[in-house]
A = this chain, B = another copy of it.
């Protein structure tokens, strides 16, 4: 309790210290109309400069945000489309498809991949294990023929939008 009061007193100190000066200023007969006008001018000049700077900041941020929205605008639709691509791949893997059906499925697949590519969405590369783009669902012991970090199998393709990962590739990796 005693401490609380002490703190309060300390907090009030700067105010108390300023007060006499303010009073002196207000009461001062030397504070002429000219000085007051100049103060007003300085005050509005500062306000103007701050508003101007803030305006430029707002504009810059709005531009950055617009660019980011544009760059990643297709993210949600693309993510939602990935299961369709998986289904297409599974359908294409079915044995005994007639040539017509196979051709039809491939056309759908190609046109989907092309549409995604135009918006910056591409398959994740699977040359070598990369923890940024792959999820290792299983590991196999590395040996002379299969050095560590090479991939044994890609179980499900991964996709990225520009540099941003939409879905990691599911892989089996040697290590």
Query: A residues engaging B (CB < 8 A)?
Result: 33-34, 37-38, 40-41, 43-45, 47-48, 51-52, 54-55, 58-59, 62, 65-66, 69-70, 73-74, 76-78, 80-81, 83-84, 87-88, 90-91, 94, 97, 100-101, 104-105, 107-108, 111-112, 114-116, 118-119
A83 to B77, CA, bound (A): 16
Cβ-defined contact, A55 with B51, below 8 A: yes
Q: A34-B33, A118-B80 are in contact. Are A91 and B108 (CB under 8 A)?
A: yes
Contact A104 B81 (CB under 8 A): no
Q: Given the complex, which residues of B lie within 8 Å of A54, measured CB to CB? A: 55
CA distance A62 to B41 in the complex (A): 31
Pick the contact of A77 from B38, B55, B70, B74 — CB < 8 Å?
A: B74
A77–B77 contact, CB under 8 A?
Answer: yes
For the complex, give the distance between the alpha carbons of A142 and B88 in Å.
Answer: 43
Copies of this subunit: 2
* Nearest CB in chain B to that of A75: its residue: B73
A41 vs chain B, min Cβ distance (A): 4
Rounded to whole Å, the gap between the CB of A125 and the closest CB of chain B is: 22
In the assembly, what is the distance between CA of A112 and CA of B41, in Å? 63
A38 to chain B, nearest CB (A): 5
Given A44-B45, A62-B62, answer yes or no on A77-B78 (Cβ-Cβ < 8 Å). Answer: yes
Sampled A-B contacts (29; CB under 8 Å): A34-B34, A37-B37, A37-B40, A40-B41, A44-B44, A47-B48, A48-B48, A58-B59, A62-B62, A62-B65, A62-B66, A66-B66, A66-B69, A69-B70, A73-B73, A73-B76, A74-B76, A77-B118, A80-B115, A80-B118, A81-B112, A83-B111, A84-B112, A84-B115, A87-B104, A87-B107, A88-B108, A101-B101, A105-B105
